[in-house]
């Protein structure tokens, strides 16, 4: 890989790894130079000290051998110049007899000086110390001056160590210069090494970043046979394996999620602590909004139902799947068939539980409706049939000979047969509507005209009971979208009920108005016995009667309002009933305003 020099240097200068590598080089160099400087400086110092010591001892011996004591004392300055050293002559008592640089009268006794004491004992003494006289470090060498093998004094040569200090200082200067040069070279070497080292590392970092962010990282291309190349090949292999496993896992996850979401039964998943971990959409559809915020709760906290908890406890005890019917009472009764089982094949041996809720509330209601329907229709058919069979049997036994009695019996048989015929016709009507076999022709219908056609049929019954029928249908009322014959059947059934259940001298009113929302509303009210408030929701059920005995006496089949309800649905309208016991009943029929004819 190639980098622009300036950008490359700036990028590397910002890298912590570069500073680590360069810092390592720097520490190694500093330590190396310090050790070398210390050892070399010490060695140079020792060598120079050894040379100075050798020179001074040699000059001292030469002076001692070639010059008598008096000559030394006399020529001390010339000898000092020749030996390039300070020369001091001292007697055995330590008195300074002569000095090449100082006035002897001002000098202290030198008997206790280390070099003098050492020369007194060993015939040679050396010492290094700071000279207060000259203000510099001095190296001293002392030899005894002898006469007939007896010491008659001491000769001491001294030389300042400035030369050694200067030499060592120059050495350290050279070492520092070398350090700077090596530092610059190390920086360049570190930069080159770092560039070669980090180029594949940066590639790997970008590669793994793309992988972490979910992008397709491609293939890591590092053409090298060293550890970096082998590492790159291993990463490529692991990424391929990982991508394959992720792809397989996503496919399996997608299948499971699709199956989970498409299930028509509600499903809950419980974790190992029996807390709700997940639910599907079918569950939310079954239970509605109230049970949507249940994640993290236990089933007993979410549902507060002992039957459900008992089923879960049985499953925990036995470890076998449990099936049980559960009834939830929460405003509206929900009847459920629940199945509790464990989830197998989870990673790391996790234990989870699946609870499946099958809602057969509607099936139960339909079953009850079926039972009620069979019971009702059996009763509705049995009553007139019993009467018909009884009267026929009586006629067969001889009552037919009595003309007046036979005539009354035949009228009763005819009335009950008519009731059976109306029942069958009503049942066929409802069946045709539900099965979609009833044909409708929707057109623009004037409500006023249909009411005018229906009223004569009802008025004859109203007159018999002394009822007043009040009609108020505006002429400018919008036409409605309806099947003319079925609209007449709807109005006839509602008006017939109003007349039936209104006592004598009562009143039935029929009015209509446009609600300005696309509907024409027909209101049919009476001053009849009324309906208890809790019974109103059940009106429209087959064979449902508020007052069963009175309804049968009036010849009703119990299917009139049920037919009205089904026909209103077919017309895309709606029916609403308001009533108070003893105050009468009002039925509101809403029909859509006509916008165009449609054949169905």
- 570-593 tens-digit pLDDT: 888 888 888 888 788 888 998 998
Residues 456 and 591 in one domain: yes
Residue 598 predicted with pLDDT over 80? no
**Whether residues 253 and 310 fall in one domain:** no
How many structural domains does the chain have? 5
Residue 335 placed within a domain: yes
C-alpha angle 245-246-248 in degrees, rounded to nearest 5: 65
Residues 568 and 495 in one domain: yes
Q: If pLDDT is split at 50, 70 and 90, which confidence band does 455 have?
A: confident
Tallying the residues shown for the chain, one arrives at 600
pLDDT number for residue 67: 63
Are 579 and 538 in the same domain? yes
Please report the pLDDT score of residue 348 as a whole number: 63
Which residue in 498, 539, 541, 548 sits closest to 380, CA to CA? 548
Classify residue 106 by its DSSP letter. G
Minimum mean pLDDT among 55-64, 114-123, 202-211: which range? 202-211
Q: How do residues 362-376 score in pLDDT, each as one tens digit?
A: 777 777 766 666 666
pLDDT at 186: 73
Q: What is the pLDDT of residue 11?
A: 47
Element spanning 491, H or E: helix 484-500
Q: What percentage of the chain has pLDDT greater than the value 90?
A: 0
Domain limits at 423?
Answer: 366-430
Q: Same domain for 457 and 517?
A: yes
How high is the pLDDT of residue 437?
67
Q: In the predicted model, is pLDDT for residue 241 greater than 50?
A: yes
Per-residue pLDDT of 297-326, as tens digits, reads: 888 777 777 888 888 888 888 888 888 888
Q: How much is the CA Rg of the chain, to the nearest whole Å? A: 62
End residue of a domain, out of 160, 182, 204: 160
Q: Are residues 83 and 125 in the same domain?
A: yes
pTM of the model: 0.41
Q: CATH no. for residue 457?
A: 3.30.565.10
* Highest mean predicted confidence (pLDDT) among 190-204, 429-443, 574-588: 574-588
371 inside domain:
yes
Exposure class string for 308-340: b at 16+ Cβ within 10 A, else e: bbebbeebeeeeeebebebebeeeeebbbebbb
Report helix, strand or coil for 8: helix
Strand 96-99 versus strand 574-580 pairing type: unpaired
Predicted confidence at residue 121, as pLDDT, reads 84
Contacts 24+ apart (CB under 8 A), 192-200: 193/21, 194/12, 194/15, 194/17, 194/18, 194/21, 194/22, 195/3, 195/8, 195/12, 197/21, 198/12, 198/15, 198/17, 198/18, 199/1, 200/224, 200/228, 200/232
Domain end marker among 340, 359, 378: 359
23: in domain: no
132 and 72 part of one domain = yes
CA distances from 425 to 413, 457, 458, 470 (A): 18, 18, 19, 30
- The pLDDT tens digits for 507-560 are 888 999 888 888 999 898 888 877 776 666 656 555 555 554 444 444 455 566
Same domain, 454 and 567: yes
In a domain, 219, yes or no: no
The DSSP line for 125-170 is EEEEEEETTTTEEEEEEEEEEEETTEEEEEEEEEEETHHHHHHHHH
Q: Is the pLDDT of residue 8 over 60?
A: no
Lowest pLDDT segment from 5-14, 295-304, 496-505, 526-535: 5-14
């Amino acid at each position: 890989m190639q980098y622009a020099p300036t950008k490359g240097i700036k990028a590397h200068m910002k890298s912590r790894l570069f500073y680590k590598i360069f810092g390592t080089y720097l520490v190694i160099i500093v330590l190396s130079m310090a050790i070398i400087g210390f050892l070399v400086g010490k060695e140079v110092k020792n060598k120079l000290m050894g040379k100075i010591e050798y020179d001074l001892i040699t000059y001292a011996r030469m002076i001692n051998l070639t010059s008598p004591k008096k000559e030394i004392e006399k020529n001390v300055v010339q000898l000092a110049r020749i030996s390039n050293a300070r020369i001091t002559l001292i007697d055995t008592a330590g008195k300074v007899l002569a000095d090449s640089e100082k006035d002897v009268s001002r000098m202290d006794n030198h008997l206790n000086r280390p070099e003098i004491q050492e020369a007194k004992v060993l015939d040679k003494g050396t010492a290094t110390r700071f000279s207060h006289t000259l203000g510099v470090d001095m190296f001293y060498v002392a030899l005894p001056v002898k006469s007939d093998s007896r010491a008659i004094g001491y000769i001491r040569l001294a030389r300042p160590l400035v030369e050694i200090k200067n030499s060592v200082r120059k050495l350290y200067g050279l070492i520092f210069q070398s350090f700077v040069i090596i530092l610059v070279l190390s920086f360049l070497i570190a930069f080159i090494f770092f560039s070669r080292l980090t180029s594949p590392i940066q590639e790997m970092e970008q590669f793994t970043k793309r992988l972490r962010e979910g992008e397709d990282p491609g293939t890591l291309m590092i053409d090298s046979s060293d550890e970096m190349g082998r590492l790159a090949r291993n990463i490529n292999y692991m990424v391929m394996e990982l991508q394959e496993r992720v792809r397989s896992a996503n496919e399996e996850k997608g299948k499971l999620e699709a199956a989970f979401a498409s299930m028509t039964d509600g499903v809950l998943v419980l974790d190992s602590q029996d807390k709700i971990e997940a639910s599907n959409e079918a569950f939310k559809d079954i239970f509605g909004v109230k049970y949507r915020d249940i994640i993290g709760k236990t089933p007993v906290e979410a549902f507060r139902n002992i039957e459900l908890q008992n089923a879960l406890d049985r499953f925990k005890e036995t470890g076998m799947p449990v099936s049980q019917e559960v009834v939830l009472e929460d405003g509206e009764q929900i009847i459920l068939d629940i199945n509790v089982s464990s989830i197998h094949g989870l990673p790391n041996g996790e234990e989870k539980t699946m609870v499946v809720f099958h809602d057969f509330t509607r099936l139960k209601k339909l079953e009850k409706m079926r039972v009620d329907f069979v019971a009702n229709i059996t009763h509705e058919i049995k009553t007139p049939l019993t009467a018909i069979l009884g009267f026929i049997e009586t006629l067969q036994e001889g009552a037919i000979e009595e003309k007046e009695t036979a005539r009354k019996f035949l009228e009763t048989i005819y009335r009950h047969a008519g009731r059976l015929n109306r029942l069958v016709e009503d049942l066929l009507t409802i069946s045709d509507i539900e099965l979609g076999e009833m044909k409708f022709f929707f057109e623009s219908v004037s409500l006023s005209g249909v009411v005018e056609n229906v009223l004569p049929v009802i008025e004859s019954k109203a007159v018999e009971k002394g009822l007043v029928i009040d009609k108020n249908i505006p002429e400018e009322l919008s036409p409605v979208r309806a099947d003319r014959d079925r609209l007449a059947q709807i109005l006839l059934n509602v008006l017939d009920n109003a007349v039936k259940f209104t006592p004598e001298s009562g009143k039935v009113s029929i009015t209509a108005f446009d609600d300005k929302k696309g509907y024409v509303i027909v209101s049919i009210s009476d001053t009849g016995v009324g309906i208890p408030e809790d019974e109103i929701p059940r009106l429209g059920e087959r064979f449902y009667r508020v007052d069963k005995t009175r309804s049968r006496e009036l010849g009703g089949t119990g299917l009139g309002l049920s037919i009205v309800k089904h026909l209103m649905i077919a017309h895309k309208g709606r029916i609403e009933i308001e009533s108070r016991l003893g105050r009468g009943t009002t039925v509101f029929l809403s029909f859509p305003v006509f916008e165009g004819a449609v054949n169905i």
